[in-house]
Structure 1
Amino acid sequence: MASAAELRPAEDRDAVMSAIPQNFDPASLGEQLRSAHTVTRPLMLDLIDKACRRFPSLGQSERTARLMRLIGAEAWVDATLALVELELPLWQVRRIAYDEGEWYCALSRERELPDWLDSSVEGRHSDLALALLSAFAEAQALTAEVTRPSVPSVRQPVSPLYEPVNCDHFG
C-alpha cells in the first residue's frame, strides 16, 4: 500500500519523511480546516505532512497502511479516527454531538472523568470529519507544546568553587 509520501509528487516527499514536522503551524492549520467545505485527499495528506510525527514511523506500518486504505476509499471519518489512534494513542473521542447545523467533537485523555474535571479539546464544523480533524489538530498542538524528553533531566553538577551564601541579616 502506498504511503502518504508516495501519493505526493516527488518534490514534496521530503516533507513527509521528517520525523518531526518542521512546518507545523496550529493557527494556520486550524484556519485551513475551518475554511474547508469537505475533506479531500490533498487536505488530508497536507494535514499528515504538517501535523503528524508518528505517521512515517517504521514500527507503525500496519496502522499507516490501514490509514492510507481509508484515505484511498475516501472514508474520511474512519480515516480521522485511525489518525487519532495512530498519532494520539493516549487520546480518545469523548463526545460527538450535532446541534443547529454543526458537529461538535471533543477529544480527551481522561474520558471517564466528569466534564467539569476533564480538559478536553474541541473542534466544530458543519462536516463531521472536519470537526474531528479540527479537534485532532488542536490536540496535536497541545502535545507539541508539551514535549517532554524520554529520559528525566538531571541537575548539572555544581562547580567545586561554588559555595552557597546566606544573604539574610538576622542581627
Structure 2
Amino acid sequence: MTAALRRLSPPSLSQQLRAAPAMTRPLILDIIDNACRRFPSLGQSERTVRVMRLVDAEAWADAALALIELELPMWQVRRIAYDEGEWHCALSRERELPDWLDAAVEARHADLALALLSAFVEVQALAEEASRPSVPTVRPAPDSFYEPVGCENFR
C-alpha cells in the first residue's frame, strides 16, 4: 500500500464532512493533511500561500475552490446550486458534455464549503481507486497441477 493510500481515508473524511454543521479551521486543516497530495509537495508556492491566506481569513468556500484548483487540475466545478436548504456541488472532468453523458461527482450539504469539500474528497477517493502502478504486474506462476491441453482434432 502506498503512502498516499495510507494517508487518505475518504470514508472517515466523508463522514466528518457530512456530520459537520459548519466549516472550521481544524476540519479544513485535517482535509489538507489527509486528502491533499500536491499541497505539501509544493512547499510555500504562491498557490499554497493563497490557500492558507483564505483559511486564515475564514473564506471557506474560496479556500475549497482554491484547493480544488490546486489538487485537481483536470477537474472543474460543473454546477453549484442551492435547493431546499442544501448546496449541491458537482465536479466534472468534461464540463462541456451534456449532463446525461457526464460522469460528474456530486455532493450536497447545508454549508457551501462543506458541499465543495465533500465533492473534492469523493474525487480524491476515486483517483486513489483508479490509480495504477507504473510497473505492470507479473502473472503468478502456474499451479503445479496445471498442464496445457490441446483441443484440436487432427484426424
Q: Using CA pairs under 8 Å that are at least 6 residues apart, name the structure with larger relative contact order, 1 or 2.
A: 2
Q: CA deviation at 1:154?
A: 8.9
Choose from 101, 113, 121 the match for 2:105: 121
Counterparts of 1:24 and 1:55 in 2: how far apart (Å)? 13
Counterparts of 1:21 and 1:68 in 2: how far apart (Å)? 24
Question: Which consecutive aligned stretches of 4+ in structure 1 deviate over 6 angstroms post-superposition?
Answer: none
Counterparts of 1:38 and 1:21 in 2: how far apart (Å)? 27
2:107 counterpart SS class: strand
Equivalent residues, number: 145
1:20 counterpart SS class: helix
Return closer, same or farther for 1:102/1:147 CA change in 2, 3 Å cut-off.
same
Q: One-letter code of the match for 1:39? A: M
Q: CA deviation at 1:62?
A: 1.2
Q: One-letter code of the match for 1:77? A: A
Normalising by structure 2, we get a TM-score of 0.84
Conservation of the 8 A alpha-carbon contact between 1:70 and 1:78: yes
Q: One-letter code of the match for 1:26? A: P
Choose from 31, 44, 53 the match for 2:28: 44
Q: One-letter code of the match for 1:103? A: W
Q: One-letter code of the match for 2:38? A: R
Return closer, same or farther for 1:141/1:154 CA change in 2, 3 Å cut-off.
closer
Q: CA deviation at 1:60?
A: 6.8
Q: CA deviation at 1:20?
A: 2.6
Question: Does residue 103 of the first structure (1) align with residue 87 of the second (2)?
Answer: yes
Choose from 137, 150, 154 the match for 1:167: 150
Counterparts of 1:21 and 1:84 in 2: how far apart (Å)? 19
1:114 counterpart SS class: coil
Return closer, same or farther for 1:111/1:60 CA change in 2, 3 Å cut-off.
farther
Counterparts of 2:16 and 2:10 in 1: how far apart (Å)? 10
Conservation of the 8 A alpha-carbon contact between 1:21 and 1:49: no
Name the residue aligned to 1:34.
18
Farther off after superposition, 121-130 or 19-28: 19-28
2:40 counterpart SS class: coil
Give me the identity figure in percent: 67
Normalising by structure 1, we get a TM-score of 0.77
Root mean square deviation of aligned Cα: 2.2
1:103 counterpart SS class: strand
Q: One-letter code of the match for 1:132? A: L
Q: One-letter code of the match for 2:78? A: R
Q: One-letter code of the match for 2:152? A: H
Name the residue aligned to 2:122.
138
Q: CA deviation at 1:58?
A: 3.0
Counterparts of 1:102 and 1:95 in 2: how far apart (Å)? 13
Counterparts of 1:22 and 1:50 in 2: how far apart (Å)? 9
